[in-house]
Amino acid sequence: MTLLQSDLLLQVPTVIHGFTTKREDLPDWGNVSLIQGDPSHALDNRAKNTTTLDIPPEHLTFSLQEHGTTIRRVSVADRGAGSDSPESSLPPADGLIANEPGLPLAIMVADCACILIAERNGQAVGAFHSGWRGTFENMAEAAVRSFQSLFGIPPVDLAAWISPMICGNCFEVGGDVWKKFEERWGRDHLLENPLRVNLPGLIGTQLVQAGIEPSNVENSGACTFEEENLFSHRRGETPNGRMMGFISIKK
């Protein structure tokens, strides 16, 4: 498996995006995280995935991710933060949003979702990290709201893609987490025997409840825990790695 892309986001002419995968043909199986495996391999792997789309890897822009719902507006002055070392990343934020061209925003995951969102004419883009904590706290809604508050873009003008993540059949949780979700989100996306949470299903609901048209929300449907060609934190194999979702307005 090579780079994954969203059919929906490919329809936005001025936007470039992608989601890396686990690959046998690349060193460290295509890992793109500088804190997993050999950092020089990770840098090469980033380059192999982005240069085909005319994105210089040194322009990729990262923040420190902390499973929160903080969203940071990024400008060209921030471009390349975290592209050479984790220490140069932007301060903690699990969402990055921008309306300037040539500024690729990147989120790293392995079981959590990377949500990529674009204004449908390419006026603004964002990349958001939503694992179980972020999903519980409704990162999806925070993401949609940020387009409105920062750029005046209404939800009906947005298209969103939910990356591969651990699916509802596979994501087993303890009773405390299951109850927490039931109290806040109801039972629609919960399963029993064993107790599980359907995170991609819930994120899809959250995006629609935040105002995006259902036809403008696309779920990749791939499960990181089941697919050998995707990295899974929970599957816990060695060597392990991270995948990267990225999105940019074309220069």
Tell whether residue 222 is a contact of Zn ion (CB under 5 A).
no
Residues pairing with 15 in the sheet = 249
CA distance 230 to 73: 29
Q: Does 191 bind Zn ion (CB under 5 A)?
A: no
Matching residue, tokens 């070392």: 85
112 binds Zn ion (CB under 5 A): no
Scanning 59-67, 133-141, 149-157, 169-177 for contacts with Zn ion by CB under 5 A, the matching segment is 169-177
CA 165/CA 111 separation, integer angstroms:
4
**Secondary structure (3-state) at 209:** helix
Q: Does 170 bind Zn ion (CB under 5 A)?
A: yes
199 near Zn ion (CB under 5 A): no
Compute the least distance from the CB of residue 87 to Zn ion, in Å.
34
Pull the structure tokens for residue 137. Answer: 């706290």
In the complex with Zn ion, which residue's Cβ is closer, 47 or 191? 191
User: Under the criterion CB under 5 A, does residue 249 sit at the interface with Zn ion?
Assistant: no
Q: Which is nearer to Zn ion, 168 or 211 (CB)?
A: 168
Site string for Zn ion, 126-165 (x = CB under 5 A): ----------------------------------------
CB closer to Zn ion, 190 vs 223: 223
Nearest approach, Cβ of residue 167 and Zn ion (Å): 3
Q: Is position 115 an interface residue for Zn ion (rule: CB under 5 A)?
A: no
Burial of residue 3, with CB atoms counted within 10 A of its CB: 0-12 exposed, 13-18 middle, 19 or more buried: middle
* Cis peptide bond upstream of 154, omega within 30: no
Nearer Cβ to Zn ion (110/159)? 110
Dist CA 77 CA 59 (whole Å): 11
Task: Determine if 172 is a binding residue for Zn ion (CB under 5 A).
Answer: no
Question: Binding Zn ion by CB under 5 A: which of 105, 106, 208, 223?
Answer: 223
Q: Which residues of 12-49 are buried (b: 16+ CB within 10 A; e: fewer)?
A: beebbbbbbbbbeebebbbbbbbebbebebbbbbbbbb
**Length reported for the chain:** 251
User: Which of the stretches 102-110, 134-142, 198-206, 217-225 binds Zn ion when contact is defined by CB under 5 A?
Assistant: 217-225
Strand 113-119 relative to strand 125-130: parallel, antiparallel, unpaired? antiparallel
Q: Which of 112, 167, 222, 243 binds Zn ion (CB under 5 A)?
A: 167
Site residues for Zn ion per CB under 5 A: 167, 169-170, 223, 225-226
